[in-house]
Amino acid sequence: MVWLSKRELAYYLILKKRFDKKVFNINEAVGVLSLFGSKSTARKVIKRLKSKGFLEGVGVMTYRIGDGDEVLIKLLSSYIVQRLYRNLKSRGYAVNISKPGQYSTLEIQNCGDNILTELDMIKGLGVHIVCIEDEGK
């Protein structure tokens, strides 16, 4: 999983506070971030933030702040699915992970309403849960 360093997170928050939804160019961003480190470091961090989805490129060397919640959901949804998979498997559930689209889907065989109710809290976090019933039952 690609994660953020403290510096990247701090720079993202600074840029978000300064520019919010406005389009800005690399020089404006580096000008703001140079108060917290070197200009070359600021450029590298901006490049990494863009590659991770926290900044959106809107033109040549121009950016817009990405939706942080949406990016975090993309980064963490596969982690959440993996943790659920391991935990449910250790509890005796027959589970499988499939990837029909951008997000993983956790398939649980013969699950009851209890487990679905418990897992209802993670809806909207990019995790899809499907209950599959055995055809022999």
Please answer whether residues 85 and 97 qualify as being in contact, where contact means their C-beta atoms are separated by less than 8 angstroms.
yes
pTM, entire model: 0.72
3-state secondary structure of 96: strand
Unique residue bearing structure tokens 């109710």: 117
Q: Rounded distance, CA 91 to CA 106, Å? A: 15
Phi, psi of 105 (to 5 degrees): -120, 130
Residue 1 resides in a domain: no
Q: CA-based angle 112:73:1, to the nearest 5?
A: 100
Question: Tens of pLDDT along 99-124?
Answer: 755 667 888 888 877 778 888 888 77
Same domain, 80 and 61: no
Question: Tens of pLDDT along 79-102?
Answer: 888 888 899 899 888 888 887 556
Among 15, 37, 66, residue at a domain's last position: 66
Please answer whether residues 108 and 81 qualify as being in contact, where contact means their C-beta atoms are separated by less than 8 angstroms.
no
What are 44's two structure tokens?
Answer: 């590298």
pLDDT for residue 101? 56
pLDDT for residue 125? 82
Which CATH number covers residue 23?
1.10.10.10
Decide if pLDDT at 73 tops 90.
no
Same domain, 81 and 54: no
Residue 110 resides in a domain: yes
Residue among 43, 86, 89 at smallest CA distance from 32: 43
Question: Tens of pLDDT along 3-40?
Answer: 789 999 999 999 999 999 899 999 999 999 999 999 99
With residue 46 as reference, give the H or E element that holds it: helix 39-51
What are 78's two structure tokens?
Answer: 């596969």
